[in-house]
């Protein structure tokens, strides 16, 4: 019935637009009127539960409100599900052995092979050790925290793997490409000294799980670009990412970009890191209704990485003058680095407010360290970053804690100075927050969260399949941070939809042809 009236309206609109005046009227009939009751019964329809409701009764209003709520929910429902690795959304930190970064298990290829990859929002490429010439050790005996050996990828053993030609739009070797038959090679250099990964690019399947509101978990096989990392150097040979790294940056080749371009997710993802060294990652997450946000800023005219603008810094209630700066938000950097003038102001104020004696700890890279007079961490001043539109990001414990067998023996203010005007907000300052990298609206959003709070119908902790045994938490307290540089890439332009292309061409056609095209589009949309 709704379709018939819509078609009549569309025809009348076009006739009226072509100097053929027409007027029609429609009588509006209430859902629970006597006319509708007669039509419902004569048409063989089943009656509403409990009989036709008496006008203005409690049941009458309950059914109306229930119907309105259902329609409202259908309008607000996101067209995409949330995706997460097939082993589950859980991430983990393994301490000094793995550079104090967060990792998650992912499956790629056919048959699928599992890899423990580092999460890096500061770079784009997703690579794993592959047909190794020079890779980090993969034996569990080399690491204090692993209960199984790590895997090595081989394109020849995956039936779903395809070589990527050097003429592919995502291959960046440029003039070195001599033939479309030539495979695309890559080399990515990172900020940490002499740290790099190089090899060949391939396309293969990334195994993901999905879950929507009220729906059971399902599996998704997403084609992604993978770096077959034959040769690693620097920090990657020391255990920072022995089993690979998943780039979450803004470039077209990153996993979030490829998932969004394929229409599987909203162009966004979130990460949450908890105090117990666990966390969650979700692709397609736009966040919660109570989150704060600040826009991403371009560098040299492009959004090559996740950069935000801090207006001022505060130590507890004391906000410091001339402490504005730009910062890259990077889960691939273990700790936080601030420009020299900001670092000086923060450390001076923190030192005045903290109720503890200065001390030193062997192996610590930080200058402002303090001894603890009790086996528990004393209350320390919070560090707050403020942004435009009165939003703020509070780091409640901006310290790294040292322990012995009796408990806390001391702590350090976990920031370091860096040259230049650009800082880096590292993984240690993300703890306790659900961080949303909203690439659709070009903003970073955050809300305080224990990662377990994300367990719901639309944000499960793990899919139906049983995840592997969790790896134990590392108790070492030495530091070995490795910053990872962003890979510079531009944003892909949006392509017009089929419908918009048809309507643009319709403007150049006769009106009756336009009417046919429009009716086809209306019918197609009603089928969705």
**Residues assigned a catalytic role:** 120, 330
Query: Are the C-beta atoms of residues 104 and 118 closer than 8 Å to each other?
Result: no
- C-alpha distances (whole Å) from 302 to each of 190, 305, 326, 421, 490 are 20, 9, 15, 18, 7
User: Smallest Cα–Cα separation from 330: which of 267, 395, 422?
Assistant: 422
CB-count exposure of residue 511 (10 Å: 0-12, 13-18, 19+):
exposed
Place of tokens 């393994």: 94
Query: Are the C-beta atoms of residues 423 and 336 closer than 8 Å to each other?
Result: yes
Distance (Å, whole) CA 275 – CA 409: 18
Helix-then-strand count for the chain, H and E:
7, 28
3-class state of residue 142 by DSSP: helix
Query: Are the C-beta atoms of residues 497 and 263 closer than 8 Å to each other?
Result: no
Query: Are the C-beta atoms of residues 122 and 330 closer than 8 Å to each other?
Result: yes
What number of other Cβ atoms are within 10 A of residue 383's Cβ? Answer: 25
- C-alpha distances (whole Å) from 483 to each of 204, 342, 356 are 28, 19, 30
Bin 168: left if φ > 0, else alpha if -120 < ψ < 50, else beta.
beta
Q: Report the length, in residues, of the chain.
A: 528
Distance (Å, whole) CA 154 – CA 212: 34
Query: Are the C-beta atoms of residues 94 and 116 closer than 8 Å to each other?
Result: no
Report the half-sphere exposure of 261 (CA within 13 A, side-chain side): 17
Degrees to nearest 5, angle at CA 410 with 404 and 412: 130
């Amino acid at each position: 019935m709704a379709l018939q009236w819509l078609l009549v309206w569309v025809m009348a609109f076009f006739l009226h637009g072509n100097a053929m005046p027409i007027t029609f009227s429609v009588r509006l009939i209430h859902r629970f009127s006597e006319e509708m009751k007669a039509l419902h019964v004569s048409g063989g329809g089943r009656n509403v539960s409990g009989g036709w409701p008496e006008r203005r009764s409690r049941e009458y209003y309950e059914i109306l409100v229930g119907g309105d709520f259902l329609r409202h929910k259908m309008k607000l429902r996101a067209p995409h599900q949330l995706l997460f690795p097939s082993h589950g959304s859980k991430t983990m930190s393994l301490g000094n052995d793995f550079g104090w970064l967060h990792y998650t298990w992912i499956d790629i290829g056919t048959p699928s092979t599992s890899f423990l990859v580092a999460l890096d929002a500061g770079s784009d490429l997703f690579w794993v050790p592959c047909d190794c010439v020079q890779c980090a050790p993969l034996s569990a005996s080399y690491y204090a925290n692993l209960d199984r050996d790590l895997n090595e990828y081989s394109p020849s053993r995956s039936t779903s793997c395809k070589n990527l030609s050097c003429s592919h739009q995502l291959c960046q070797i440029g003039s070195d490409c001599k033939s479309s038959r030539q495979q695309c090679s890559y080399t990515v250099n990172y900020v940490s000294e002499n740290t790099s990964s190089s090899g060949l690019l391939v396309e293969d399947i990334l195994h993901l799980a999905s879950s929507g509101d009220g729906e059971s978990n399902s599996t998704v096989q997403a084609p992604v670009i993978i770096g077959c990392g034959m040769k690693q150097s620097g920090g990657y040979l020391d255990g920072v990412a022995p089993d690979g790294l998943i780039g979450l940056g803004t470039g077209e080749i990153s996993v979030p970009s490829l998932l969004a371009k394929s229409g599987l997710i909203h162009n966004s993802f979130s990460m949450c890191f908890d105090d117990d060294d666990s966390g969650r990652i979700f692709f397609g997450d736009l966040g919660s209704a109570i989150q704060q946000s600040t826009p991403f800023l371009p560098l040299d005219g492009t959004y090559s990485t996740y950069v935000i603008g801090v207006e001022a810094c505060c130590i507890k209630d004391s906000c410091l003058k001339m402490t504005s700066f730009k910062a890259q938000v990077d889960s691939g950097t273990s700790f936080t680095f601030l420009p020299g003038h900001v670092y000086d102001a923060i450390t001076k104020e923190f030192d005045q407010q903290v109720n503890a004696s200065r001390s030193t700890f062997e192996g610590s890279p930080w200058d402002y360290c303090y001894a603890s007079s009790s086996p528990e961490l004393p209350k320390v001043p919070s560090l707050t970053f403020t942004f435009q539109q009165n939003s703020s990001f509070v780091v409640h414990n901006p310290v790294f804690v040292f322990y012995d067998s009796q408990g806390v023996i001391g702590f350090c203010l976990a920031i370091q100075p860096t040259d230049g005007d650009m800082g880096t907000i590292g993984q240690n300052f993300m703890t306790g927050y659900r961080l949303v990298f909203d690439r659709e609206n070009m903003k970073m959003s955050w809300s305080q969260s224990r990662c377990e709070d994300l367990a719901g119908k639309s944000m499960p902790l793990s899919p139906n399949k049983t995840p592997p045994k969790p790896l134990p938490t590392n108790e070492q307290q030495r530091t070995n941070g490795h910053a990872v540089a962003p890979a510079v890439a531009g944003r892909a332009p949006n392509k017009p939809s089929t419908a918009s292309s048809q309507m643009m061409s319709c403007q150049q056609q006769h009106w009756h042809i336009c009417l046919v095209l429009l009716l086809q589009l209306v019918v197609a949309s009603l089928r969705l």
